[in-house]
Amino acid sequence: MSLARRAGPEDAAEVLRLRQVMIDSLGRPGFTGATGWHAESLPLLRERLAPSEGDADGDFGAFVVESPERPGRLAALAAGTVDYRVGTPHNPLGRVGYVFSVATDPDARRRGYARACMDELLAWFRARGAGHVLLTASPDAQPLYESLGFTRDPDPSMRLML
């Protein structure tokens, strides 16, 4: 039995707290310590974490491990989405998993919690027919992802802020 479980609407505030832990660990100016966005994000996150009629699993998944030392708090999180893109020879269904948030409380690290969350998230991607999974790895997290089978992607990434 896995340590990790699917997050529900009742976990939304803790999911945001752990997302902030991840954001803070990156040390990006303007992002570190910026929690004002949590209040605006919370209602939609609660909605996305709730099973919807006819589409119980949706295209967004978050898996968490509860803190054994702190009741009511989460120790770790892995969250991602399944997107559709036009198929390719290596992914005819065009379903792509994207991991966008993996975080563990600093005092709960090195206990296998992030791995347990990632294992559940990867199983969730497989169950949805994802042909591959993408993520951006920090140097600290790269060994975990490599041990799960991830490799560096040679294609450069670009961004446009709207």
Tens-of-pLDDT digits for all 162 residues of the chain?
679 999 999 999 999 999 999 988 887 777 777 788 899 999 999 999 997 655 556 899 999 999 999 999 999 999 999 999 999 998 999 999 999 999 999 999 999 999 999 999 999 999 999 999 999 888 888 999 999 999 988 877 777 778
DSSP string, 84-148: E---BTTBTT-EEEEEEEEEE-GGG-SSSHHHHHHHHHHHHHHHTT-SEEEE---TTTHHHHHHT
Predicted TM-score of the model (pTM): 0.89
Domains of the chain in start order, with CATH, are 5-147 (3.40.630.30)
